[in-house]
Amino acid sequence: MGGFTSIVPMAASVLQTGQRIAANQSNAQSRIDQTEAARQAELAEIEAREREDATNREEELRRRQATARARQGASGLMAGGSGSASAVLAGYEKAARQDADQSADAAARNRNRINQQAAWREKSLLRSSQDDTVARLNAWFSKRDG
């Protein structure tokens, strides 16, 4: 009977430790899922901002080109200045492409930063969960062994 009474507390302790470990791992996974959701939201925000900026650039380019064509039509066409107007239009297009490239580069840097931070947070959470599991198991074995 003495052997049975000593195993019951030990089994209860094992069960309790296992439940704590499972709860901690579940909590870590929940925080990882929250981090992933936040990362996805930030990436979606960057994509939306990038699309909006591209639309604004296109509208600005069209507006500048229309203004340049209107000016050319009013004055330059009479004087035969169509060559300079096309150079101005090409310059506007080049500036718009450069702005788009800079914006794309900035968005890529932001995406990389967000992904790196999320990966670091996930590794950190997993590492702390593993450390907690090992610590709980070591504590349990130490208590069991006396």
Which of 6-20, 58-72, 95-109, 128-142 has the lowest average pLDDT? 6-20
Helix intervals (H) in the chain: 2-71, 77-79, 82-145
Using pLDDT thresholds of 50, 70 and 90, give the confidence band for residue 19.
confident
- Comparing CA positions, the residue from 22, 97, 26 lying closest to residue 60 is 97
d(CA 126, CA 43): 23
Q: How many domains in the chain?
A: 1
Q: Return the pLDDT at 1.
A: 45
Using pLDDT thresholds of 50, 70 and 90, give the confidence band for residue 50.
very high
Q: Is the pLDDT of residue 43 over 60?
A: yes
Q: 110 is in which domain, residue-wise?
A: 2-145
